[in-house]
Amino acid sequence: MACCPGRLPQDEQEVHASTSINRILVSERAKARIPQCLLLGTGESGKSTIFKQMRMLHGAGYSEAQLTEARVMIRAAIRKDVAALAEAARSRRILDQVGVDNAAYPSNVQAAIDTIAASADDVPLEQLVDQIELMWADPTVRKVYDLRHLYQLSDGAHYFLDKIGIAAKGDWVPNTEDLIRTRVRTNGAVDQVLNFRNNEQLRMVDVGGQRSERRKW
């Protein structure tokens, strides 16, 4: 009676390896066929905001773990804006534009502004909440804010100053709106495959607006 030799374990390993390689090749070919959209523009022109919005609408979105991880980055951006506003509120050049001098501030507001301006960058927001809220509620500071084109302040500053009491809490978890409102410089290139109706896909690529970052692309 004839016997058929069984498949050797080595043959099975080779078949498995070959199958895995074929899957990878098919996946890479599929990726290569996906049209790409490169976001171009100068620094702070809104490319990353569009990228984040499209990722949430048609891409992988952001998990709670990713949002929690982004908390440090968001607070650093808030801290930078708060310091910039405090410095502008003490600037003779800005106050001349407003049409007032330092005497326009009540003593408690002036003290709050001075405390914020003198604070080191590593001072937690939670320790400055009272001073920030006091500064932000002052009418003259609001006029200083309206002149933000004369100094460096992000587009999301108003949004976060309005909710500073929440954003400064130790257990605060940002939401997707908070992430969109945060301006963070893009380093290198990031990409995301977007999925649309009829199984159509698009690979969106965001690169930094600075010339050095564009060279990387």
CATH code where residue 146 lies: 1.10.400.10
Total count of residues recorded for the chain = 217
> Does residue 114 fall inside a structural domain?
yes
pLDDT, position 10? 60
Same domain, residue pair 142 and 168: yes
> Does residue 73 fall inside a structural domain?
yes
Residues placed in the known binding site for GTP: 44-49, 206-210
Half-sphere CA count of 76, side-chain side, radius 13 A = 9
d(CA 116, CA 168): 14
Same domain, residue pair 117 and 155: yes
Q: Is 44 strand, coil or helix?
A: coil
Same domain, residue pair 73 and 173: yes
Same domain, residue pair 156 and 217: no
Same domain, residue pair 159 and 199: no
d(CA 153, CA 79): 11
Instruction: Work out how many domains the chain is built from and give that number.
Output: 2
pLDDT, position 62? 80
Same domain, residue pair 175 and 200: no
d(CA 3, CA 185): 69
pLDDT, position 151? 94
d(CA 45, CA 186): 12
pLDDT, position 30? 62
Helix ranges restricted to H, the chain: 9-33, 47-58, 64-69, 71-90, 92-98, 107-118, 129-137, 139-146, 157-162, 164-167, 176-181, 211-216
Half-sphere CA count of 176, side-chain side, radius 13 A = 12
Per the confidence metrics, is the pTM higher than 0.85? no
pLDDT, position 90? 94
Same domain, residue pair 176 and 193: no
Same domain, residue pair 162 and 175: yes
pLDDT, position 185? 67
> Does residue 40 fall inside a structural domain?
no
> Does residue 18 fall inside a structural domain?
no
Residues placed in the known binding site for Mg(2+): 48, 186
> Does residue 35 fall inside a structural domain?
no
Low-confidence ranges of the chain (pLDDT < 50): 213, 217
Residues spanned by the domain of 215: 186-217
Same domain, residue pair 74 and 111: yes
> Does residue 206 fall inside a structural domain?
yes
Residues placed in the known binding site: 44-49, 186, 206-210
Same domain, residue pair 70 and 85: yes
Place of tokens 């600037």: 91
Same domain, residue pair 201 and 168: no
- 92 neighbors 100 (Cβ within 8 angstroms): no
